[in-house]
Structure 1
Amino acid sequence: MTQVLPEHPPRHHRWPWSNRTSHAPDILAAIVLFIGEAADFAWTTFGYGMECWAAQDDQDRIDAATLANIAWMEHFLYVVLALAGLAALSRAPWTAVSHLLTAGLVFALLTGAQQQWDRAHPAPAPTPSAGYVPCYSGSGTCP
C-alpha cells in the first residue's frame, strides 16, 4: 500500500514582489495617489504663483520664487519616479503606469519652466579679448 504525502500549506511570501497585486487595490491606489499628487502639485504651484504676485514687480523676489518652483518640481519628479519604481517592484501595473504618466507630465512642465527661465535670463555675451580690434568697412584693420 502506498502512502499519500500530505500537501504542503501554501507559503506566504513576505516580499511585495512575490505576488501580483490584485486589480481593485491597485486601481484604487493609482487613483488616490494620482489625485493626491495632482493636489500637492497644484497647491505648491499656486503658492509660488502667489509669492510672485505678492512680490509686486520686485524682480529679485520673482526670480527667487521661480527658481524655488523649478527646484521643487525637480524634486517632485524624483519622488514620483521613485513611487513608480516601488509600484513596479510591488507588481502593481496600474499604479506604476499612472505614476509614469504623472512623471511624464511633470517632466514636460519642468522642461517648459526651465526653457522659459532660460529665455528670460539669457547668458551675457562674452567680453572681447584685449587684442580684439573691431573690423569696420574701409578701415583697413580687417584681416
Structure 2
Amino acid sequence: MRTVPSTRQGAAMTYALPEPPPRRRWRPWSRRTPPGLDVGVGVLLFLVEAAVFVAIDFGYGMEVWAAQGAQERIEAARIAGLAWTQRFLIATLVFAGLALLSRAPWTVLSQLLAAGAVAVLLTLAQHDYDRRHPDPPPAPNPAYTPCYSGSGRCN
C-alpha cells in the first residue's frame, strides 16, 4: 500500500491508496500450456496436416494422370508438387516453432514428427526426379580428336 500525507492543517494523517491492479499481459511463453490442451492440439494439427498433404498430393497425382502422356504437363505437375512439398515442410517447421514458443512439448513433438515424415517424402521425391533427369554428359574438349580405326591419328 502507498500512503499519501494529508493536506489538512494541524492533522498529521495519512491516507492509504489502493494498489493498482496488476497489469495482466498474456504471452504464450509466460506459462506452460496445459497438458490436455497440448495433446489435443498436437494430435488435431497432425491429423489436419496429414489430410491436407494427402489431398494436395492426390491432386498433383491426378494432374499427372490427366496429362495422358503429355510430358510437359507431367513434368510441370511433378515440379509443382515438389515445390509445394518444400513449402509444406517449411510450414510444419514454423508450426513447431510456434508450439515451442507456446511451451507445448507434445505439439512440438507431433510437428517435428510431421516435419520428419515430410522431409523423408520430399527427399524420396527429389531423388526420383533427379534419377529420371540425369545431368547431360559434359561437352567434349575442343582439342579432342576421335580415334577411328586406321586413321593414323590415335595416340
Asked if these proteins are the same fold (TM beyond 0.5), I'd say yes
Query: Following the alignment from structure 1 to structure 2, what is the Cα–Cα distance between the partners of residues 89 and 34?
Result: 18
The CA deviation at 1:141 is 2.5
Out of 35, 39, 64, which is 1:27 matched to?
A: 39
Larger Rg: 2
Distance 1:10 1:52, change over 3 A: same
Which one of 137, 146, 149 corresponds to residue 134 of structure 1? 146
> Displacement of 1:25 after TM fit?
0.5
Question: Aligned in 2, Cα 1:135/1:12: closer, same or farther, shift over 3 Å?
Answer: farther
Distance 1:22 1:10, change over 3 A: farther
Which letter maps to 1:56? Q
Identity within the alignment, %: 53
Once the two structures are TM-superposed, the CA of residue 136 in structure 1 deviates from its matched residue by 6.1
Aligned residue in 1 for 2:11? none
TM-score (norm 1): 0.87
Note closer, same or farther for the CA distance 1:136–1:10 as it changes in structure 2 (3 Å cut).
farther
Give the unaligned 5+ runs of structure 2: 1-20
Tell me what 1:49 maps to. 61
The Cα shift of 1:137 comes to 7.6
Whole-angstrom CA distance in 2 between matches of 1:20 and 1:113 = 38
1:84 pairs with 2:103? no
- Give the ranges of 4+ consecutive aligned residues of structure 1 lying more than 4 Å apart after TM superposition: 9-13, 135-140
Aligned partner of residue 113 in structure 2, secondary structure:
helix
Larger relative contact order, structure 1 or 2 (CA cutoff 8 Å, min sep 6):
1
Report the Cα distance in structure 2 between the residues aligned to 1:11 and 1:25, rounded to whole angstroms.
Answer: 25
Higher helix share: 1
User: Which amino acid in 2 is paired with 1:36?
Assistant: V
Name the CA distance, whole Å, in 1 between partners of 2:91 and 2:144: 50
Higher strand share: 2
Q: Distance in 2 between matches of 1:77 and 1:115?
A: 17
CA distance in 1, matches of 2:149, 2:118: 52
Contact 1:13/1:19 (<8 A) preserved: no
Q: CA deviation at 1:131?
A: 1.1
Matching residue within 110, 132, 143 for 1:120: 132
* Matching of residues 3-14 of structure 1 within 5 Å: 12-14=24-26
Counterpart among 53, 65, 74 of residue 86 in structure 2 = 74
User: Does the Cα contact within 8 Å between 1:84 and 1:96 map onto a contact in 2?
Assistant: yes
The Cα RMSD (Å) is 2.1
